[in-house]
Amino acid sequence: MSEESRLDQATEFLSAAPADASRRLEIDRLGDQVVEALRTVYDPEIPVNIFELGLVYKIDVDDHNAVRIDMTLTSPMCPVAEILPEEVKAKVEAIDGVSGATVEVVWDPPWNPGMMTEEAQLELGVIY
């Protein structure tokens, strides 16, 4: 999956445009900043960030600038299952303008290597 289509999929929440154009711009700005923050979070066993790995399924920004992220892990037995979502939450909450963050770990659909961006697949030497 290309980086652009991965970004479009993860920021699908932006399609429900608020009536106020300035609010729409604020949501777009926060959404971009959330994605950039997620690109700084790495699974310690894999040298690719969680966004490029395809671990982020949904990003939602509500009317009060609280961010909800649905993400998964490469495996239910992932040794960083407790740590990674907390790191995501902390990095998103550190973004100026974000009022809070909730990170939900979901298992459906199950993650597979085909969910990685093309760039991540190339870096890891795995092509799907």
Q: Please check whether residue 77 is in contact with residue 36, taking contact to mean a CB–CB distance below 8 angstroms.
A: no
Report the alpha-carbon angle 35-41-43, nearest 5: 130
- The alpha-carbon radius of gyration of the chain (Å, integer) is 14
Across the chain, what does the average pLDDT equal?
87
pLDDT by residue (tens digit) across 32-86? 999 999 999 998 888 999 999 999 999 999 989 999 999 999 998 888 888 999 9
Q: 9 pLDDT band (50/70/90 cuts)? A: low
Q: Is the peptide bond before 110 cis (omega within 30 degrees of 0)?
A: no
Amino acid identity of residue 54, one-letter, is: G
Mean pLDDT of 122-126: 89
What pLDDT does 4 receive? 58
Task: Give the span between the Cα atoms of 89 and 38, in whole angstroms.
Answer: 10
User: How far is CA 24 from each of CA 13, 30, 53, rounded to the nearest angstrom?
Assistant: 11, 10, 28
Of 2-16, 17-31, 34-48, the poorest mean pLDDT is in 2-16
Using CA atoms, how far apart are residues 30 and 26, in angstroms rounded to an integer? 6
pLDDT at 10: 56
How is the chain split into domains, by residue range?
3-124
On the question of pLDDT at 124 being above 70, the answer is: yes
Q: With 50 as the cut, is the pLDDT of residue 15 above it? A: no
Whether the predicted pLDDT of 14 surpasses 70: no
CATH number for domain 3-124, candidates 3.30.300.130, 1.10.1740.10, 1.10.3720.10, 2.60.120.650: 3.30.300.130
Q: Specify the pLDDT at position 43.
A: 86
Residue for token digits 């395809």?
54
